[in-house]
């Protein structure tokens, strides 16, 4: 599992690592939904397009996670599989991808924690020892 929950007072914080920025976005989204439910219980039956942008990789990560979280909140979806289809840097960063999952079913999906929002607090994205590393905090 290329992420770990790290200590943070009152909220939840994650440290995520990957070989590429694309994989970093995927693993950050998996960590977020692993906090909400059991990923293995969520079938990737429906595909939802996700687009995000940011002036730098921190803003991009925040916008990516917030967009996925928004789709969870508004559409009642749980996601277990994510794919970045395109990541490009022009004047800023843009990502286009998909989140795969299914509507929440309380009989099949254990509910762990409600996430209120992804915050910018202590958020970072950087290269460390040849890999990409991100840290982020979610408001519970």
Binding residues: 11, 139-140
Exposed e or buried b for every residue in 72-83, given b needs 16+ CB within 10 A? Answer: beeeebbbbbbb
CA dist 116 → 44, 81, 113, 125, 129 (Å) = 23, 21, 10, 22, 33
- Please give the Cα distance from 48 to 19 (Å, whole number): 25
- 117-128/131-139 β-pairing: antiparallel
Q: Where is the binding site for Ca(2+), in residues?
A: 11, 139-140
Which residues sit opposite 78 in a β-bridge? Answer: 102
Which distant-in-sequence residues (6+ apart) come within 8 Å of 81 by Cβ?
A: 44, 99, 100, 101
């Amino acid at each position: 599992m290329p992420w770990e929950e790290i200590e943070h007072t009152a909220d939840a914080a994650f440290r995520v690592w990957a070989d590429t920025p694309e994989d970093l976005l995927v693993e950050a989204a998996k960590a977020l939904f692993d906090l909400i439910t059991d990923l293995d219980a969520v079938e990737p039956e429906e595909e939802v397009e996700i687009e995000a942008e940011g002036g730098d990789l921190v803003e991009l990560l925040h916008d990516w996670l917030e967009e996925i979280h928004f789709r969870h909140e508004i559409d009642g979806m749980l996601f277990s599989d994510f794919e970045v289809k395109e990541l490009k840097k022009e004047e800023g960063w843009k990502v286009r991808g998909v989140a795969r999952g299914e509507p929440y079913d309380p009989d099949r999906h254990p509910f762990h924690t409600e996430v209120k929002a992804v915050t910018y607090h202590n958020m970072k994205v950087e290269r460390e020892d040849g890999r990409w590393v991100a840290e982020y905090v979610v408001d519970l």
